């Protein structure tokens, strides 16, 4: 019974001619987010070290602006990308699991109803 429903569902999805999910692009953006976090932290630390290594105020401001502020912006952007695509993967998994559980529950209910009709 369940195999027939799965096949019918697959056929209906095939008839809709939907484009497939762009899983590769999503994975790339997840990795880009993680790399942006790492690069941002490295830039922020380097900017801080460079700024503390000089006594000229102009150089300190320049090092902080180019290293620390750009690093902070990369950390924020990378964190946003990483969280967005991590949550998307989790929510997609959760939705598939929810649909599967509901279909299993429906199959059990139908089997119980058919069993009680037979009595």
Mean pLDDT in order along the chain per 10 residues (119 residues): 71 67 78 94 87 81 83 94 89 86 89 84
pLDDT at 38 (0 to 100): 95
Q: How far apart are CA 72 and CA 39, in angstroms?
A: 10
> Domain residues of the chain, as ranges?
25-118
Q: What does the pLDDT read at residue 74?
A: 94
pTM of the entire predicted model? 0.63
In the chain the first and final C-alpha atoms are separated, in Å, by 21
Give the pLDDT score at 60. Answer: 82
DSSP secondary structure string for all residues of 67-115: IIIHHHHHHHHHHHHHHHHHHHHHHHHHHHHHHHHHHHHHHHHHHHHHH
């Amino acid at each position: 019974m369940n195999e027939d429903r799965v096949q019918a569902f697959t056929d209906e999805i095939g008839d809709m001619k939907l484009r497939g999910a762009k899983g590769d692009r999503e994975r790339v953006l997840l990795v880009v987010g993680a790399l942006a976090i790492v690069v941002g932290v490295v830039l922020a630390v380097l900017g801080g070290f460079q700024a503390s290594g000089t006594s000229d105020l102009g150089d300190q401001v320049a090092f902080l602006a180019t290293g620390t502020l750009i690093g902070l912006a990369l950390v924020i952007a990378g964190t946003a990308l990483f969280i967005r695509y991590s949550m998307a993967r989790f929510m997609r998994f959760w939705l598939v699991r929810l649909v599967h559980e509901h279909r299993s529950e429906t199959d059990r209910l139908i089997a119980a109803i058919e069993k009680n009709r037979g009595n």
